[in-house]
Structure formats: structure tokens, C-alpha cells
Chains A and B, each alone.
Chain A
Amino acid sequence: MKKYLFAILSMLLVFSVILAGCSEKSDEEINTKSLLEVIKKRGKLVGGVNATIPGFGYVASDGSYEGMDIDITRAVAAAIFGDPTAVEFRPLSAEERFIAVQTGEVDVLARNTTHTTSRDASVGLAFAPVTFYDGQGMMVRKDSGIESLADLEGSRIAVESGTTTELNLADQMRKIGVSYEPVVFDNQDAAISAYEQGSVDAFTTDRSGLVSRRSTLSKPDDHFILTEVLSKEPLAPSVKDGDSKFVAVVSWTVYALIQAEEYGITQGNIESFMDSDDPEIRRFLGVEGDLGEQLGLEKDFVVQVIKAVGNYGELYDRHLGPETVFNLERGPNELWTNGGLMYSPPFR
């Protein structure tokens, strides 16, 4: 009995030590230890992605992940490890994604997530630069006679729960005074299937998502996307807030993709740039200076990134461009030098 009591008492002691320890130590730990160190130690990056949007993130028929967001995650892995395959993908639903970041389940979230104030301020996320400028759209059946948002009076509209889409829809409809019935699904597959069977009149999500989804319908030509755009949807990768070092790694990986396109550096011709005389390019590729080391990466991380996935333009063309079923215009996703919004701060 004495032994028993002793065991319990010592357990209590351990507990109280843990309690006392955790409140003191954790604050200090945050400041000193970046997620980057943890990832390097682990040997692979864990990326939260979408598995259901062709073009951005989906599982191909052979089981591999493909899409623009997927390649951006691979680019981050290439920047850290020099190896784009050192990454483990976690398919997440819209409603799971933030908890997955908050709890450290995933290191980086590249899942067509809109950058908004509240997500920055109170959801505990830190965003990297925008990788795709999108806007919310509305898909309807051609034979429904709906041509504008105002025609949607009294209709049932399918939307995915936990998205900015859900909020914009409510905002826009309130603005134009149209009453409607939201039908909130917890995943896009269910929403699309209800739309296709005619249980709802319209389906709303980001326009790129609509284009991608329409291509999977049985008769894509029977549906069209309203010309009205309901919102701005800048889609950006994000990481857990409070870790400026790791945010910088993800951010500058994205910038590297954009900058490479501006320099005309591609997956194919990058070797020829290695002995370039241009000091800017030499610094960019890590031949001169120590930009990579400042970020906590290898000197030549840009080279690894471009070799792994190509520059931003190549990424875009591969997943969304004219060669693909989506054939999406670059629009605002064009480089700033071509009148778009894609712009990288200088590498120096």
C-alpha cells in the first residue's frame, strides 16, 4: 500500500513539474526554434492541400498529387532540402485546413486559400505572397434562363462551408437585395453532384475552381459561368503565425518562381544562366552572395526550386494554361512587366 501511495504521489509530482515547466519554457522556445529547424530535422515537409480541384490540387488517376498548389508545396520542399519529393501531402477539406495549420498537423497550407484580414489577424495564420489572383463566380445551367445575379431570386445556391465564398455570397446578395437559399455542403464533390442533378440552381466558388469543376461535369457545355465577379480572391499559401523565419522561406520561394519568369530562367535553360555576368542573376542563383543562407537555406535554393518545378509561368501553363482543358487567361496573374500583378521584391 505504501508503495502504491508513493507511486501516485510521485506521479503527481511529475505532473506538477510538467505543468510548471510548460508555461515557463514555451514562450522562450517559440522565439528560438523555428519550424524550419523542425522540418529539416524531420527530413520532409508536410503540406496541406486540396485533393479535389483539378488544376490546383487533385489526386491523379495514378494516385499522385498534381496541380499548381501541389507544385508550390514541392517548390518549398526543394528550397529546404534540394529535393521536391521530400514532401508529404495531406488532403484537407475547407473546414479542416485552419485547424491543421494551428495544431502543426501541416507545415504549410497551399490549398486555394484566400488571404483575408481576419485569417491574418485572428485565425493564427501568416500568409506568403499571392500565387493566384482569383474572383468568386457563379455557375448556372444554360437552360435555366439565369443571366445575372439578380435572376437568382428565390433560388437554391450550393456553396462549400467554411469558405470566404460562403461569406461573399451572403454579402453580395444582401447588397443587391436578392433572397436565396444557401445549401451548404461540407465538400465540393457533394455540392457539385447536387448541382448536376438539379437540386440546386447554381454553384458558387472561385472562378478558376468553377472552370476546373465544369470540365468534370458530364456535359460541360450545358453550363456557364456568370460574367459578374462577386469578390476578390487572392489565393496564397500560409503557415502558422508567429514564425517569421519560416514565413520568409515560403514567401521567398514564391518570389523566386516569379522572379525567375521575369529573368526568363526556366527549368530547361537554368544551367546556361549559372555563368551569367549579370550581378543580379548571379545573386539570385546564389553564385554570388549569401541570400539563401540568410534565409536559413542553401546558397543555391533558387536553382533547386526552378530545377524542380520551373518558373511561375511554366507552372501556370502546365496546370491552367492553353495546353490544359481549363485554358485560363493569365489576366492579373501575368507578370507586372506584362501588365499583370505578379511582382517580386528584389533579391538582394
Chain B
Amino acid sequence: MNKHSSSTSTPFWRDKRVIPILLQVIFAVIVVVAGVFFFSNALAGMRQIGMVFGFDFLGKMAAFDIGDKVIDFSSKDTYGKAFIVGILNTIKVAFIGIILATILGFIVGVSRLSTNWLVRTVAAAYVEIFRNTPLLVQIFIWFYAVFLSFPVIEKSLDVFGLFYFSNRGAVIPWLGLTPSSFIWLIAFLIGIILSFVVWKIRIKRQVETGQRKYPFFWASSSIVSLLIIAWFVTLESPLLLSIPEIAGRGYLGGYTIGPGFGALLVALVMYTASFIAEIVRGGILAVPKGQVEAAKALGLKSPTILRLVVLPQAIRIIIPPLTSQYLNLIKNSSLAAAVAYQELVGVGITILSQTGRSIEVISIVILVYLSMSLFTSLLMNIFNKYSQLVER
């Protein structure tokens, strides 16, 4: 009995159920062994020259300064905090960059399909130029040829006394907080929720009764009235407008955009937007022609067709490639070191060369980029799911 069954059953190395699992296990082992090998090799190398692997240096005093920063930082702070400043700088340029690149990309992408010859050609020329030249070169051009070529600060370009441009940066009016800003914020949030509720109710009525109920008017007026109440309660404006002025070698007030940050941001936006434009164009073209024709047959105007029929369908095609452009933008921001904007890599390199801790610093940089990318992907995937067709 026993003998019989063993002779008919397949040996495990020829079993189709076992082989794939076995191969995966072997692959995993190889990957782990290779990883351990390289890591222990690096450790041995470090031991040879008298270095120890560890992250204790993060708690030590940095002793260097960072120019452009979101939070307070001085040379007395630790390397760890310096990293945080760098990370925040990366997030700052990536966040603003993604928003601006998306707006510009959509405008250009739609313009490329315009019936107007001039608009279409300008959009095409823009895309071809920015998509086909290296980003680093563009950053250099913006930095040297544009931002550094602005006049010196004493001769700043002055726009209505509100904006100043010089080769040490652009300065724009900026908002400051007042003691009652918080109350205003709460009032505003309540207003938004309230207006949303009102909007829903009015829309429902409109659908039920068939009469025009002006949902937009009602929703917006509920925000406005709440803000007027807030004004009477606090008797103070929500934010303080800080108008910049030139003071000696620098600007006072307002918000200064340094040449490094400016060049990097503009370059990232222009470069990424050219790719986004192509994605948007592809997405729009992928919407079946019949949809537009059907909408036309119903008597809708072109802008309305674009807004209500084409874009909602195109967006489903656009989002996945758009996500990878966002990830590219985040990663490309690491080129900032070339124009003296201290983001994650810039700060990392400084720390690396002050402490000599290459493996530790590089692994931190990799981990941070990885988490940023995964987080962005996650958000975009949620958005993607939300915008997918709900099949009934």
C-alpha cells in the first residue's frame, strides 16, 4: 500500500504546485544572501578604515547653517533636524511644483487640441522644447540666464511697489497671521460644511421639483454670511498683508523666493508640465469620438462638452501616468544642489561630507524618497479609485 502510493505520486521537484513556491523561496534566499553579503562587505570595509556603522550622529550638533528653510534652524541644532529641514524643503518645492505643473499641463494639453492654429502651435512648440531637453540644463538656464541676470538689489525691478525682482530673489506680498486668524479659520470651515449641506439640499429640491433653485448662489452666500458674522465678532481682519520693501542688502516683509528655489521650481514646473500636457492630450484623444458627437447632438457648447463629457472620461486614463510624472517631479527636485537650494539631497550631501557617514546618509535619503513616492502613489490610487466608473 505504502510502496504503491509513493511510486505513483510525483516527486516534489516535479510537482507543479511545489515548483513555483520553491523557486520563489530560492529567489528570496538569493536576494537576502546578496544583500547581507554587500552589507557585511561594506561593514568590513568601514572597519578597515576605523569607522563604525550607526545613526548616533543624527543627535550631534550640525554646526552648519541652511539658507532657505521652512522651520527655524541654526547651526546649534542637530544633524537630525537638518535632515528634517531638508525634507521640508523637498516637500515644499514638490508640493507647489505638482500643483503648478498640473494646472499648466492641463492648460497646454487642452490647448494642443485647440481649433485655433496659433494656440495649438504655441502649445506644441512648448511641449517639444521642454520635453526634449535635459532638466539639469533647464535648471541651469533658469538660474544663470534668468534669475541671476535680474538687476542687483538696489536696482530691483519694481512692480507697483508690491513685487520686487532682483538677482537675490523675487519678493511678493505675503499674508501674516493676526490674533483672530484662528477664529476666522473655524468660521470658514463651518461655512464650507454648511454651504455643502445647503448645496445638496437645493440640488435635491431642484431635481425633485424641476424648478430652478440656484444651488450655487445659496451655497456661496452661506459662506459669505458666516464670514460677515465672524467680522462682527472679532472686529479684525483674518490675515495681515505684509508688503515687501527693500532694506539695505535684503528685503523686509513679504515672502522672498530665493534664486535657487525659483530656478528649481520654474524648471520643474515647465519640464513636468510638458509631459503632463502630452498625457492630458492622450487622455482626451482616447475618449471615443461618439461621446463628443452625442453631446453635440444634444446641443451642448464646446466648453461644456469638454468639462462635462470629455474630461470626466479622460481623467480615468490620465491619472495613472500622471502619478508617475508626480513621482518624477519629486525625485527630480534632487537636482537642486546645483543651484544652491538646500533640499533633502543637498543637506544630505553636506552632512555626508561633514561626518563621512556615507552609507547611513544615503540610506536615509533613499528611505525618505521611497516613502514620499509611496505616499503620493497611495493618494493618487485613492483618487483613481474614486474617479473610476462605478459599474452597476
A contact residues vs B (CB 8 Å cutoff):
1-2, 5, 8, 11-12, 15-16, 18-19, 22-23, 26-27, 30, 94-95, 97-99, 102-103, 118-119, 122-125, 154-156, 158, 161-163, 166-167, 169-171, 173-174, 180-186, 190-191, 193-194, 197-201, 240-242
Could you say which residues of chain A place their CB within 8 Å of the CB of B34?
A: 15
Do the beta carbons of A154 and B356 come within 8 Å of each other?
Answer: no
Partner of A183, one of B67, B248, B352, B355: B67
Do the beta carbons of B342 and A124 come within 8 Å of each other?
Answer: no
Q: Closest CB of chain A to B46's CB: distance in Å?
A: 7
Do the beta carbons of A197 and B49 come within 8 Å of each other?
Answer: no
* Contacts A99-B358, A186-B349; A241 near B63 (Cβ below 8 A): no
Partner of A199, one of B30, B167, B346: B167
Do the beta carbons of B144 and A193 come within 8 Å of each other?
Answer: yes
Could you say which residues of chain B place their CB within 8 Å of the CB of A123?
A: 51, 355-356
Measured in the bound complex, the distance between the Cα atoms of B260 and A194 in whole Å is 10
Do the beta carbons of B353 and A162 come within 8 Å of each other?
Answer: yes
Q: Is B350 an interface residue (CB 8 A)?
A: yes
B contact residues vs A (CB 8 Å cutoff):
13-14, 19, 26, 29-30, 33-34, 36-37, 40-41, 44-51, 63-67, 74-76, 144, 147-149, 152-153, 167-168, 248-250, 258-260, 337-340, 342, 346, 349-350, 352-356, 358
Do the beta carbons of A182 and B33 come within 8 Å of each other?
Answer: no
Do the beta carbons of B67 and A95 come within 8 Å of each other?
Answer: no
Could you say which residues of chain B place their CB within 8 Å of the CB of A18?
A: 37
Partner of B148, one of A15, A155, A197: A197
Measured in the bound complex, the distance between the Cα atoms of B30 and A30 in whole Å is 29
Partner of A240, one of B33, B49, B64: B49
| 21 pairs, A vs B, C-beta closer than 8 Å | A12-B26, A15-B30, A15-B33, A19-B33, A19-B36, A22-B37, A27-B47, A95-B352, A97-B353, A122-B356, A156-B250, A158-B340, A161-B349, A174-B74, A174-B75, A182-B67, A184-B66, A194-B148, A241-B49, A242-B49, A242-B50
Measured in the bound complex, the distance between the Cα atoms of B33 and A19 in whole Å is 8
Partner of B14, one of A1, A26, A103: A1
Could you say which residues of chain A place their CB within 8 Å of the CB of B250?
A: 154-156
Do the beta carbons of A19 and B51 come within 8 Å of each other?
Answer: no
Measured in the bound complex, the distance between the Cα atoms of B34 and A198 in whole Å is 51
Do the beta carbons of A102 and B346 come within 8 Å of each other?
Answer: no
Chain B, Cβ-Cβ closest to A196: B148
Do the beta carbons of B40 and A16 come within 8 Å of each other?
Answer: no
Could you say which residues of chain A place their CB within 8 Å of the CB of B153?
A: 198
Q: A22-B41, A27-B44, A124-B356 are in contact. List 19 more A-B contacts (CB 8 A).
A: A2-B13, A11-B30, A12-B30, A26-B44, A97-B353, A102-B45, A102-B46, A118-B356, A123-B355, A154-B248, A155-B249, A156-B67, A162-B354, A163-B353, A167-B64, A170-B65, A184-B340, A184-B346, A193-B148
Do the beta carbons of B355 and A118 come within 8 Å of each other?
Answer: yes
Measured in the bound complex, the distance between the Cα atoms of B263 and A194 in whole Å is 13
Do the beta carbons of B50 and A241 come within 8 Å of each other?
Answer: yes
Q: Closest CB of chain A to B136's CB: distance in Å?
A: 12
Could you say which residues of chain B place their CB within 8 Å of the CB of A124?
A: 46, 49-51, 356
Could you say which residues of chain A place their CB within 8 Å of the CB of B76?
A: 174
Do the beta carbons of A201 and B249 come within 8 Å of each other?
Answer: yes
Could you say which residues of chain A place their CB within 8 Å of the CB of B74?
A: 174
Measured in the bound complex, the distance between the Cα atoms of B65 and A169 in whole Å is 9
Chain B, Cβ-Cβ closest to A2: B13
Measured in the bound complex, the distance between the Cα atoms of B74 and A60 in whole Å is 40
Q: Closest CB of chain A to B391's CB: distance in Å?
A: 43
Measured in the bound complex, the distance between the Cα atoms of B48 and A103 in whole Å is 11
Q: Which 5 A-B pairs have the closest CB atoms?
A: A162-B353, A123-B356, A124-B49, A170-B75, A198-B152
